[in-house]
Chains A and B, each alone.
Chain A
């Protein structure tokens, strides 16, 4: 399977999305709304839940299951209000000693007028800064499309897991092809060159573990896929909650600072 095949699977609307993770990875998910400033973004949602024995704050991009939901959530493209909500909820996690689990699946941050006016750049930047120092464990699962800065904003964590058929990239293959090949139809070449599959990213040290999917992809057996995610997340939470919090935060810093340090 080449990189573009994976891109297609990662974008398959039948793939499990936030609703399924809330149902089958989490036990007892309760959504909490709003950034307390202007809005309740639907592209990035979150709440509190149990995952196994762990009380957690859960955050994730939300592509939506119906046309109405797709529209309301901009197909999982979050607005600044979404990132600010994510930080608000993650602060609760820190205060109440709960780990944070995030599900990453977005084409990118929403490119809109209001998004810019309300500070899309600032919201993402602040989120990166915030999660880098958050005093509680953060487990990230890239489940579909990890679309550039809009994905990374909730992907700064202690352990980064990635589903077998997910992709994660600095730019979409189409965007890259449009600029460097001057031809959007060269997306398959760009996808290959950018090295965006889970195995590529594991080799580059950008992620920690690949979570296998059911045969044929996660959409072939959503429940089983979710169970595999659940098992992987719980294993990481067990590991991370044993660490003193100072050590945890230091290790997270060291992990990201080591990325692209070649000497």
Chain B
């Protein structure tokens, strides 16, 4: 399966130490300052680049309202997993040091435009936003908290899929999170899923695709299997825009492609229309 193809990871993030930011979609070069100033959006092709969890939270939650849920939850090395490059433990601890996060998702209570919400944001820079037991538990707790406190749930996904290093229990997080989301939705509370670049594999095939409303950002990569795996299977070249936000919109799996500057306003409007309490 193509869940974990490393392909986009190398090209999609501008190299950390370079002065130049290179748009992974159109290959245009910008100074890093210019890229940052434009909110990590490509001035040329409108690709909406990746943001850290905290950067997204700052853009979504009303100021001062974010109260983190289960900040103590982290990874579990129940397999004592080791590969050619070393052990999982040191890999994940390096990711923790790099991002300052304990897992690939940050969750918390907040208000969004005054509406009572639980917000979860995945961070692709934490091991490719991979879904392991810690992230699965955090998302489940987020959904259960939203249900118990009659809040809306909003999750920004950015993930290459399930985390191999935690084996079968990573896979089971797909079932676990989907079950928790099901309960929330059945109780009449909205789940708004924002699939940001990239959302693929086991995350797109679980909670990320289960939104009452599925939103994405321009030019985001969204899909199940990796492009190369598909091309090798069907022995055909795929269209350029295959698995893009716009392609999914056309095929009926996304409600709206929303620009970053409009995102909060649009979500607030939905929360209001769905009758979420203030």
Contacts and interface: CB of A to CB of B under 8 A. Distances in A.
User: Do A and B actually bind?
Assistant: yes
A171 B164 contact: yes
Interface stretch (A49-57, A64-72, A142-150, A212-220): A142-150
Given A171-B164, A182-B84, A194-B79, A116 B225 contact: yes
Given A117-B251, A175-B1, A257-B179, A201 B168 contact: yes
Contacts of B202: 148-149, 170
B127 to A, nearest CB: 12
Contacts of A182: 84
B180 A257 contact: yes
A176 to B, nearest CB: 5
A206 interface: yes
B181 interface: yes
B104 interface: no
Nearest to B232: A111
A170 B233 CA distance: 20
A109 B81 contact: no
Nearest to A169: B168
Nearest to A175: B1
B229 A111 contact: yes
B94 interface: no
- Which of the four size classes fits the interface of chain B? 35 or more
Contacts of B205: 109, 120-121, 124-125, 128, 149, 153
B204 A121 contact: yes
A120 B253 CA distance: 10
Interface string A197-219: 00001001010000000000000
9 A-B pairs closest in CB distance: A260-B133, A111-B225, A132-B179, A128-B178, A180-B83, A121-B204, A125-B209, A124-B205, A108-B1
Interface of A: 107-113, 115-122, 124-126, 128-130, 132-133, 147-150, 152-153, 155-156, 168-172, 175-176, 179-183, 186, 189-190, 193-196, 201, 204, 206, 252-253, 256-257, 259-263
Given A122-B253, A170-B168, A204-B169, 11 more contacts: A108-B1, A120-B225, A121-B208, A121-B224, A128-B178, A130-B182, A132-B179, A132-B182, A149-B201, A259-B169, A262-B76
Interface of B: 1-6, 72-73, 76, 78-79, 81-85, 132-134, 136-137, 140, 162-164, 166-176, 178-183, 186, 200-202, 204-210, 222-226, 229-230, 233-234, 236, 238, 242-243, 251-253
